[in-house]
Amino acid sequence: MHIAMVIDRLDVGGAERVALTLSESFLDQGHDISFITIDNIKTIDIDPRIALYSLSFEDRFNRYHYNQKKMSTLLDSIQQESTSFDFILVHLYKASRVMQHYTKVPCFHIMHSTQSKSALKEKTGFKRHLAKRKIQNVYNGLNIISVSKGVETDLLNIMKVKPKSSHVIYNPFPIQKIKYKAQETFILPFDDDYIIYVGRLVKEKRVDYLLEAFQKSNITEQLLILGDGGEKESLMILAKELNIQNHVTFLGAVSNPYKYIKRAKFLVLSSHHEGFGNVLVEALLLQTPVASTNCPSGPKEILEHYTLDALVEDNFDNDALAEKLQQWSINALPVKEHSMNIFSDRVITQQYIELYKTINKAIS
3-state secondary structure 22-48: HHHHHHHCCCEEEEEECCCCECCCCCC
Whole-number Å distance between alpha carbons of 42 and 141: 31
- Which three-class secondary structure state does DSSP give residue 119? coil
Q: Would you say the pTM of this structure is higher than 0.85?
A: yes
pLDDT given at position 237: 97
Q: What is the pLDDT of residue 211?
A: 97
SS3 content of the chain, % helix, strand, coil (to 5): 45, 15, 40
Pairing of strands 290-293, 143-146: unpaired
Question: What does the pLDDT read at residue 122?
Answer: 75
Residue 219: the pLDDT is: 96
Question: Can you give the pLDDT at residue 247?
Answer: 97
Phi-psi region of 199 (alpha: psi -120 to 50; beta: other; left: phi over 0): left
Q: Which domains does the chain have, with CATH numbers?
A: 2-172+344-363 (3.40.50.2000), 175-342 (3.40.50.2000)
How far, rounded to the nearest angstrom, does the alpha carbon of residue 299 sit from its chain's CA centroid? Answer: 12
* Cβ-Cβ contacts under 8 Å for 222 (sequence gap 6 or more): 190, 192, 193, 194, 195, 247, 248, 249
Integer Cα distance of 243 and 230 in angstroms: 22
Q: What is the mean pLDDT of each run of 10 residues along the chain (364 residues)?
A: 96 89 96 96 90 94 94 96 95 97 96 88 83 95 96 95 97 95 94 94 94 96 95 97 97 94 97 91 96 91 94 84 96 89 95 92 71
Residue 275 confidence (pLDDT): 85
Residue 234 DSSP SS3: helix
Q: 110 forms bridges with which residues in the sheet?
A: 91, 145
Q: How many CB atoms lie within 10 A of CB 44?
A: 12
Q: What is the pLDDT of residue 364?
A: 61
* pLDDT in the model for residue 136: 96
